[in-house]
């Protein structure tokens, strides 16, 4: 009887009630726009919001101009309301790195990093100040689950892109003009060696779920724009690293492309690799892009991503949604974490 009363007490105090963890994410927020989509996002009370890049459109190498553009975002009322209620994590893409489609050659990347980390209030003791680039790891622990959040830096170390040269998809297969073809040099780099070493260490740390935050898409098929497909050796290296480290629970989230979609890679790592692309918070694209790996979408209206981690039949499950400004879910995927484990 005493045990029964104790259990009832715990139940009503919330200790035995399985909790949900909500993580919102998004990309491509032009500081000139209203960004009212942040108000829709807050209705879901996420534990954190992850900015996946193109968080502000700098496209400039002058320090004063860069600071003014960040100021413009800081003074947006919708952003202020988001910041007041929701912890924000961030990585960058090209436009907040400094220049459209830029890589390691960008002269102002150190300045850009300082302004970025200052703006997002990076702690003085953070490792991000100590190494080159802005990659980082964070953890959320709730309801007995460890969620690892890997913030990649896909800009600071990235080699030159290869302009479209007719492959791997013939020009007339696409109903638009592609910009890039894969860089077929075996030595071509996207993450850079130091980030690869760091990533391997992180993948060996214990976690139930690993959210890989990549500004550019990972699991879609070639579409002629910027993505991991432009560095096929680096993409394969990532898949091989997951397999070698036996890192379960990996799922990618990405942005950049001004549309939302969910992709399932044509290659797996011992289990399927999914990529939930949310873009843009305020930017839009005029037509769907080519993607043979798309399993949901495309979502052509402004959207944010929402990951809800909850137990279904006592199995922790990842529920992904792409939600528009009217709070309507436009694409969904539910993944039991048992599907992201080596058999
Ligand atoms: Fe971008």
* Rounded distance from Cα 296 to ligand 1 centre (Å): 21
* Rounded distance from Cα 239 to ligand 1 centre (Å): 23
Is residue 59 reached through a cis peptide bond, with omega within 30 degrees of 0 on the bond before it? Answer: no
- Cα 215 to Cα 317: distance, rounded to the nearest angstrom: 24
Angle ∠(76,82,87) on CA atoms, nearest 5: 130
Share of the chain above pLDDT 90, in %: 90
* Rounded distance from Cα 210 to ligand 1 centre (Å): 23
The dihedral built from the CA positions of residue 231, 50, 248 and 335, taken in this order, carries a sign that is negative
pLDDT tens sequence across 191-223: 999 999 999 999 999 999 999 999 999 999 999
- Kindly calculate the radius of gyration of the chain based on its CA atoms and give it in whole angstroms: 20
Residue 12 has pLDDT above 50, yes or no: no
* Rounded distance from Cα 257 to ligand 1 centre (Å): 7
Residue 126 has pLDDT above 70, yes or no: yes
260 near 328, Cβ under 8 Å?
no
The number of beta carbons lying within 10 Å of the beta carbon of residue 104 is: 16
- Cα 20 to Cα 318: distance, rounded to the nearest angstrom: 10
Per-residue pLDDT, averaged over 337-343, amounts to 96
Angle ∠(318,323,329) on CA atoms, nearest 5: 80
The number of beta carbons lying within 10 Å of the beta carbon of residue 338 is: 12
* Rounded distance from Cα 48 to ligand 1 centre (Å): 22
- Cα 153 to Cα 227: distance, rounded to the nearest angstrom: 13
What residues form DSSP beta bridges with 288?
A: none
* Rounded distance from Cα 8 to ligand 1 centre (Å): 51
* Rounded distance from Cα 256 to ligand 1 centre (Å): 4
* Rounded distance from Cα 230 to ligand 1 centre (Å): 14
Per-residue pLDDT, averaged over 77-100, amounts to 98
pLDDT of residue 207: 98
* Rounded distance from Cα 76 to ligand 1 centre (Å): 21
pLDDT of residue 18: 56
The model scores a pTM over 0.85? yes
End-to-end CA distance of the chain: give it in Å, rounded.
43
Which residues have CB atoms below 5 A from the ion given as ligand 1?
A: 54, 93-94, 256
| Homologous superfamily of 17-340 | Alkaline phosphatase D (PhoD) (3.60.21.70)
Domain ranges of the chain: 17-340
* Rounded distance from Cα 130 to ligand 1 centre (Å): 25
The closest of 64, 209, 221, 216 to 140, measured between CA atoms, is: 209
pLDDT band at residue 143 under the 50/70/90 scheme: confident
pLDDT tens sequence across 229-268: 999 999 999 999 999 999 999 999 999 999 999 999 999 9
* Rounded distance from Cα 226 to ligand 1 centre (Å): 8
CA 64 to chain centroid, in Å, comes to: 28
Per-residue pLDDT, averaged over 270-280, amounts to 98
Q: Could you give the 3-state DSSP secondary structure of residue 74?
A: helix
The number of beta carbons lying within 10 Å of the beta carbon of residue 36 is: 16
Give the mean pLDDT of the chain.
94
């Amino acid at each position: 009887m005493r045990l029964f009363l104790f259990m009832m007490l715990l139940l009503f105090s919330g200790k035995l009630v399985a909790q949900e963890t909500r993580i919102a994410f998004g990309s491509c927020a032009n500081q000139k726009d209203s960004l009212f989509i942040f108000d829709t996002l807050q209705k879901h009370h996420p534990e954190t919001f992850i900015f996946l890049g193109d968080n502000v459109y700098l496209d400039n190498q002058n320090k004063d101009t860069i600071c003014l553009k960040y100021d413009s975002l800081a003074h947006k009322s919708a952003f202020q309301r988001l910041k007041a209620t929701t912890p924000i994590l961030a990585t960058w893409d090209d436009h907040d790195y400094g220049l459209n489609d830029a890589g390691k050659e960008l002269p102002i990347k150190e300045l850009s990093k300082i302004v970025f980390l200052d703006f997002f209030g990076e702690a003085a003791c953070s490792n991000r100040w100590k190494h080159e680039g802005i990659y980082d790891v964070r953890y959320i622990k709730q309801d007995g689950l460890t969620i690892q959040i890997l913030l990649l830096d896909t800009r600071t170390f990235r080699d030159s892109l290869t302009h479209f040269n007719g492959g791997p998809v013939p020009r007339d297969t696409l109903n638009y003009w592609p910009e890039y073809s894969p860089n077929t040099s075996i030595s071509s780099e996207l993450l850079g060696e130091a980030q690869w070493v760091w990533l391997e260490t992180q993948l060996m740390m214990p976690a139930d779920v690993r959210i890989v935050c990549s500004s550019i898409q990972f699991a879609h098929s070639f579409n002629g724009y910027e993505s991991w497909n432009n560095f096929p050796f680096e993409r394969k290296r990532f898949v091989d690293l997951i397999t070698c480290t036996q890192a379960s629970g990996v799922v990618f989230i990405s942005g950049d492309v001004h549309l939302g979609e969910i992709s399932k890679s044509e290659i797996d790592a011992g289990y399927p690799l999914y990529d939930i692309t949310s873009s843009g918070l305020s930017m839009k694209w005029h037509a769907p892009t080519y993607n043979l790996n798309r399993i949901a979408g495309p979502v052509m209206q402004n959207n944010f991503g929402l990951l809800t981690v909850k137990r279904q039949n006592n199995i922790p499950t990842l529920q992904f949604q792409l939600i528009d400004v009217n709070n309507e879910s436009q694409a969904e995927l539910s993944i039991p974490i048992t599907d992201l484990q080596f058999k």
